[in-house]
Structure 1
Amino acid sequence: MDPLSELLSLLRPHRAISSRFDAGGEWSIQFGGQHKHIKSYVILSGECWLAVDGVENVMRLEQGDCFVLPSARPFRLASDLALPSVAASAVFSEARGGGVATVGEGGSFSLLVSRFAVDGKHADILLGLLPPVVHLLKKSDQVLLRWSVERLMQELREKKPGGDLIAQDLAHMMLVQALRVNLAESFSEGTGWFFALADKQLGLAITAMHADPARRWTLRDLAIQAGMSRSVFALRFKDVAGETPMQYLTRWRMLLACDRLAHAGDPVSVIAETLGYESESAFSAAFRRFIGCSPRQYCRSVNEDRPR
């Protein structure tokens, strides 16, 4: 499985919700932090501004534009960003399962929105590896995302047998498609895992780590995978990814461990071996450093959080 697919599989998207927004006149809506949620949008008609917390540039969006917000950052949608904002909870409270949220008399701006939850105690860490906003510019990509959102709304609205499963699969597909398009584009600036994966040479090293996380990787081994000298690779990886190759390898191993502890039920000793640790104690020490508790404490906290 490729690195992007692996990361998204750990997020385990579920509980898809879709609705439509219709606005008239002047308006501005403030969305709070979307904790453990990912949202996809398609502009059906009109224009608006998008401002995401922590992102320097605001975006002007128009009919046909599609964008995805994989992070949990607060954001604003508005006809004019100078206007005072209304909380999204007051607008969308009744627009669930294919419903319509209306501001004013509607008619001048409309969009489709799909929101789905992601799973895991450390979903925020995984979401933090993704870009804060993904804007699809090509018409072919927009058509695919729009079809997915419209089909998702149809499934949620009609509630046919198997509709919940189809809705979840559609939501997952929308996210994968949007991120895949972004990876294919050229990034000139930015720091983080997604930028490193988008870099052709660094991406080869990341793919190698994901393909064999149990291997005793050395800096030299990874530099060879990337087709770079050891010193140049180490410097470039740190500059782009924001951490050293070995720090990233440990991070990925611990995220895999969290998922297996929560869902596979494997003994700690087995997980330690499959992730390249010579002993359970060495694995447990690394796990505690990264996660902040022992593997067994983590299992107990996961079980306590599960609905009864």
Structure 2
Amino acid sequence: MESQFISRSSKLAADPLSDVLSLLNPRGYMSGGIDAGGDWSFQFEQDRSFRCFAIVSGQCCLSVEGVDDTVRLQEGDFVVLPHGRAFRLASDLAVTPLDIMSVITAPLNGNVLCWQGGGACLALSALFTFNHDDADILLGVLPTLVHIRKDADRATMRWYLERMMKVIREPQPGGVLLGEYLAQMMLVEVLGLYLVDAVTGGVGWLSALADRQIGAAITAMHENPGNRWTLQTLAEHVGMSRSAFAVRFKEKVGTSAMEYLTRWRMRRASHKLVNSSDPVSSIASSLGYESESAFCFAFKREMGYSPRQYGHARMSASASLINNSQSS
């Protein structure tokens, strides 16, 4: 089942993280969890999922492809694996792993795989898929592994875990949709915690939001992408000189302010081309372009297609996906 983020009131200030998540339209899938006992080890192969999981009780080891150090997880820890890397969960990494898909057909308690009687470690998981044409906006600024382990942050996430366990253990009408909304709320919460706790010196728009002035500039571009922004007006908006703003924006975000603005405008344009009946000229005007030709040139340079080619390609891909789903 697919669900969408609810549009924010136009009276609220722009929120770049919410803007990006709304654009990506994450589809949350409650995938249940694992309740394992004894010696155990499960291998999860690489996929295209954005995975969050939490240790509800007990402890285990986590080994992620591309991450040198083994992570020891304990009750209350919360982990995000944004890039779909292969990983292993185990009581002891010396135990020969089983492919999780080879045992997933074992008897389930609700949506939880009970292995060897369970009781030693209970882990819950939620999977997300995004619009992969735009997924790099978020995935490109996240590390391979996000580990939420501060006591205050774990306390914040505890409510979600308790609610998710209730949904799994006490199925009720509407539970599927409730589970998806809980998963989406959990995703927003954990990204917010990561933002607050981002390592100093991190590069990318997400970590840059923590910088008061650069965050304000990004927010302004999201709030009014059609404004005739220049480097000078953005700098003035956040109370900086043009040169100092240009340098700090590039340091924090990894790209120039005007490049960021163009990319965000083109992401918004691509969304409108697929999800609205607005003519190209109207989309161009709403995003600050004085002429349709200037907009089309910028769009093709950024997206690789003309606006009309992009709209037709995306609608054809969606129709093909629906047909394949109905025939399978």
Q: Shorter-chain TM-score: what band?
A: 0.7 to 0.9
Q: Which of residues 36, 41, 45 in structure 2 aligns to 1:32? A: 45
Q: Deviations over 1:132-177 (max 9, x none)?
A: 4333234443244333244345446665443333222211111111
- Which whole-Å CA distance do the structure 2 matches of 1:294 and 1:153 have between them? 47
- Which whole-Å CA distance do the structure 2 matches of 1:226 and 1:55 have between them? 38
Rg larger in structure: 2
Query: CA 1:118–1:154 in structure 2 vs 1: closer, same or farther (change >3 Å)?
Result: farther
The reply to whether residue 134 of structure 1 matches residue 146 of structure 2 is yes
Q: Deviations over 1:240-297 (max 9, x none)?
A: 2121111111111111112212222322211111111112221121111111111212
RMSD: 2.8
Query: CA 1:247–1:155 in structure 2 vs 1: closer, same or farther (change >3 Å)?
Result: same
Q: Please tell me whether the aligned partners of residues 235 and 241 of structure 2 are also in contact (alpha carbons under 8 angstroms).
A: yes
Give the match for residue 279 of structure 1: 291
Query: CA 1:117–1:157 in structure 2 vs 1: closer, same or farther (change >3 Å)?
Result: farther
1:84 CA displacement: 5.3
Q: How does 1:16-165 map to 2 (within 5 A)?
A: 16-35=29-48, 37-55=49-67, 58-81=70-93, 85-92=97-104, 98-119=110-131, 121-152=133-164, 154-155=166-167, 160-165=172-177
- Which whole-Å CA distance do the structure 2 matches of 1:225 and 1:256 have between them? 22
Give the match for residue 14 of structure 1: 27
Query: CA 1:201–1:68 in structure 2 vs 1: closer, same or farther (change >3 Å)?
Result: same
The DSSP-based 3-state class of the residue aligned with 1:198 is coil
Query: TM-score under structure 2 normalisation?
Result: 0.81
Query: CA 1:157–1:110 in structure 2 vs 1: closer, same or farther (change >3 Å)?
Result: closer
- Which whole-Å CA distance do the structure 2 matches of 1:83 and 1:228 have between them? 57
- Which whole-Å CA distance do the structure 2 matches of 1:64 and 1:18 have between them? 18
- Which whole-Å CA distance do the structure 1 matches of 2:304 and 2:109 have between them? 38
Q: Deviations over 1:87-139 (max 9, x none)?
A: 33334466889422244453322211122333353234433234443332344
Give the match for residue 261 of structure 2: 249
Q: Please tell me whether the aligned partners of residues 15 and 222 of structure 2 are also in contact (alpha carbons under 8 angstroms).
A: yes
- Which whole-Å CA distance do the structure 2 matches of 1:124 and 1:97 have between them? 36
Q: Please tell me whether the aligned partners of residues 3 and 207 of structure 1 are also in contact (alpha carbons under 8 angstroms).
A: yes
* Matched pairs, number: 307
1:85 CA displacement: 4.2
Give the match for residue 3 of structure 2: none
The DSSP-based 3-state class of the residue aligned with 1:46 is strand
Query: CA 1:72–1:191 in structure 2 vs 1: closer, same or farther (change >3 Å)?
Result: farther
Query: CA 1:109–1:131 in structure 2 vs 1: closer, same or farther (change >3 Å)?
Result: same
Q: Where does the alignment leave 5 or more consecutive residues of structure 2 unmatched? A: 1-13, 324-328
Q: In the alignment, residue 314 of structure 2 is paired with which amino acid?
A: V
Q: Which moved more, 1:285-294 or 1:217-226?
A: 217-226
The reply to whether residue 196 of structure 1 matches residue 223 of structure 2 is no
Give the match for residue 227 of structure 1: 239
Q: In the alignment, residue 34 of structure 2 is paired with which amino acid?
A: F
The reply to whether residue 293 of structure 1 matches residue 322 of structure 2 is no
1:184 CA displacement: 2.3
Give the match for residue 227 of structure 2: 215
Give the match for residue 3 of structure 1: 16
The DSSP-based 3-state class of the residue aligned with 2:207 is helix
1:54 CA displacement: 4.7
- Which whole-Å CA distance do the structure 1 matches of 2:282 and 2:160 have between them? 40
- Which whole-Å CA distance do the structure 1 matches of 2:278 and 2:85 have between them? 34
Q: Which moved more, 1:236-245 or 1:74-83?
A: 74-83
- Which whole-Å CA distance do the structure 2 matches of 1:244 and 1:184 have between them? 23
Query: CA 1:228–1:253 in structure 2 vs 1: closer, same or farther (change >3 Å)?
Result: same
- Which whole-Å CA distance do the structure 2 matches of 1:98 and 1:131 have between them? 32
Q: In the alignment, residue 240 of structure 1 is paired with which amino acid?
A: K
Query: CA 1:18–1:186 in structure 2 vs 1: closer, same or farther (change >3 Å)?
Result: closer
Q: In the alignment, residue 14 of structure 1 is paired with which amino acid?
A: R
- Which whole-Å CA distance do the structure 2 matches of 1:83 and 1:232 have between them? 55
Q: Which moved more, 1:26-35 or 1:175-184?
A: 26-35
Q: Please tell me whether the aligned partners of residues 32 and 168 of structure 2 are also in contact (alpha carbons under 8 angstroms).
A: no
